[in-house]
Amino acid sequence: MAAESRTPRSGATDVALGERIRRRRRELGLSQSALGGKLGITFQQVQKYENGANRVSASMLVKLSEALAMPVMQILHDVDPAAPPTDPESDAALLLAAFGKIRSPEIRAAILTLLTGLSTR
């Protein structure tokens, strides 16, 4: 079967996501090898994601979010510039992701108390 007749493995969304990953990696001053090391993959695989040659799985998207210090929703939002501005559900997802990174039970409890108090106003 000729290469031209095969179903493409990636599409415009994959390419846009790859460009977003590359842009953020460069913002952080990371090489493809350094990012690959954080993700447990080779620099070649990072390169394939960035070029849109390979699709990013949901689990890899979560790992990328952590490695790039950027919430998943923000990575995906930037992929579609036509996407509407953040809505309460998106804000909730960002809040939940940030809350999940807080290790101290005391701070988590304080934040819950604060949010509960603010939500009644």
Kindly list the domain boundaries of the chain, sorted by start residue: 8-79, 88-119
d(CA 100, CA 17): 24
**Hey, what are 56's tokens?**
């990013």
Whose structure tokens read 């998106």?
90
DSSP state of 4: G
Indicate whether this model's pTM tops 0.85: no
Q: Each residue of 3-53: pLDDT tens digit?
A: 443 345 568 888 889 999 999 999 999 999 999 999 999 999 999 999 999
Task: Tell me phi and psi for residue 42, to 5 degrees.
Answer: -80, 160
Fold of 8-79: 434 Repressor (Amino-terminal Domain) (1.10.260)
